[in-house]
Structure 1
Amino acid sequence: MQIPVQVSKDGLKEWMMVELQGELRCLPHITMGGRLLGDLLFNKQGVPVLLIGHHILHGAVQDLSKPVAVMKKVGDREGPEAHYSVTAVVHKKVLFKNRPKPIVNAGAPRLI
């Protein structure tokens, strides 16, 4: 069975992929599904910075060797109207491969 692939009527968007090296852990009774992971921003030099809790990670933008298509299934899989719509293309990824560094507030009062 062939399922046709079409370009979205809204045109293609360009997305970036985020790649984290290592493992993300949270408390055993908390699930990450649907939760905010952190804040991703770019500094003045264009370096990506990811803030997760009180940790900061610095990354790098890399080109993918092959672009990746982001597709959405439209219609019933078995029906004659079923097809995939390509909504975006990924050409670059943001890679975070170094260990996170703790964020320390130097102006906070010390409790002794």
Structure 2
Amino acid sequence: MPSGAGRAVCGVYEIHPERVEKARAALPEERVVKEAALLLKALSDPTRMRLLLALKAVGELCVCDLALLAGVSVSAVSHQLRLLRQARLVDFRREGKQVYYRLADRHVEGLLAEALAHAEENT
């Protein structure tokens, strides 16, 4: 296969200032870009996706239930939930010594639905 075959390559180095400026103007603040990247990074792990999908299905689960569903230890689930909380994807409530987790909001449900729909398109 010739070099570059099958890949999109820019054959001519040419800058399009109007397009560059339009794209630059459309970019959100750096803080928002970093927050969105953190969110997508949090979604990038299969265990975290399973946890989120389980919460989407039933609404609320404790750490022990989530560990059983994900097939990992309670300690591993706690670690994953901490990352999901930092990305503002899950929220929790305490009931005595028990802690129950749920999706943070409807946006998370939408993200999960879109990710699954996109993944199913490619299979």
Both structures adopt the same fold (TM-score exceeding 0.5): no
Structure having the higher strand fraction is 1
TM-score (norm 2): 0.21
TM-score (norm 1): 0.23
